[in-house]
Amino acid sequence: MPNRSALRPVAALLGLSLALAACESAPVTGRQQLILLPEGQAQQMGVEAYQQIKAEQGVSSDERYTGPVNEIGRRIAAVSGQPDLPWEFTVIDDDEPNAFALPGGKVGVNTGLFKVAKTDAQLAAVMAHEVGHAIARHSAERVSRQVLVQVGQQAVGAQYPGMAEVLAQASTLGLILPFTREQESEADHIGLMLMAKAGYDPRGAVELWRNFDALGGERPPEFLSTHPAPGSRIADLEAIMPQALAEYERSPYRQG
């Protein structure tokens, strides 16, 4: 039998977590969240990481990239529900087709993304996805989840030292990776609604992931990945597309 005293901190922290989780909910989806990291601390960490990335990777001043990134970012931030965040949209000089978001409204778009995002709507799909991460405080939520997992691992590992490695692997496969994929899917959902509200055709999100799928390259099996497979993302986006199209039709930013 496990030592009950070793499990008491876990039970106490889980009880606190459940209480806190009821106080937070993700925008658009309404999913209940556990966030232990204070907003101010998370934003400070985000600013520091953002400055470091810009210094190490370099920032592009190419107007072909900076023009659409700033315009699309401005429109999406305006409809994000948090327009007063210190939003910053930067083009990073990196050939990897990727983008990222950090706490406090710091969004980076790699120059390499333009190999895949070929229209404003496709670029808006990526940027709205990243804004979705930011406004849902996904980074802080991941940190909070990892703290709980580590506390649980330490408590069980103290009682059963030989199981520490197995427990760590089980936690990664059974808790951390599925939760990260859930956040990615949620950012897709939030982003789809934001891009539609900002006047960008949400069908561009499906086109974007078809482009990523066509790009190829080696990918781990979905259950070993931090991100859903492109096919899964497309299916999920198509399922909520009618709602997004209705939002798009109502958008005052819509052109044509």
Q: 112-124, pLDDT tens digit by residue?
A: 999 999 999 999 9
With cut-offs at 50, 70 and 90, classify the pLDDT of residue 245: very high
The confidence score (pLDDT) of residue 215 equals 84
Q: Which of the two residues, 3 and 88, has the higher pLDDT score?
A: 88
Residues 103 and 42: beta-carbon distance below 8 Å: yes
With cut-offs at 50, 70 and 90, classify the pLDDT of residue 71: very high
What residues does each domain of the chain span?
17-250
The confidence score (pLDDT) of residue 167 equals 42
In angstroms and rounded to an integer, the radius of gyration of the C-alpha atoms of the chain is 20
The confidence score (pLDDT) of residue 178 equals 52
Residues 90 and 59: beta-carbon distance below 8 Å: yes
Residues 209 and 233: beta-carbon distance below 8 Å: yes
- In the residue annotation, 247 being an active-site residue is answered as no
Coil, strand or helix at 91: strand
With cut-offs at 50, 70 and 90, classify the pLDDT of residue 96: very high
Residues 134 and 27: beta-carbon distance below 8 Å: no
Share of the chain above pLDDT 70, in %: 74
Range name among 2-6, 82-86, 142-146 with the lowest pLDDT average: 2-6
Q: Catalytic: which of 24, 48, 63, 130?
A: 130
> Does the pLDDT value for residue 217 go beyond 70?
no
Angle at the Cα of 130 from the Cα atoms of 129 and 132, rounded to 5 degrees: 65
CA–CA distance, 109 with 69 (Å, rounded to integer): 8
Residues in the chain: 256
Helix (H) or strand (E) holding 32: strand 32-33
> Does the pLDDT value for residue 233 go beyond 50?
yes
Helix (H) or strand (E) holding 25: strand 24-25
The confidence score (pLDDT) of residue 154 equals 57
With cut-offs at 50, 70 and 90, classify the pLDDT of residue 181: confident
Residues 108 and 90: beta-carbon distance below 8 Å: yes
Long-range contacts of 84-88 (CB under 8 A, 24+ apart): 85/134, 85/135, 88/50
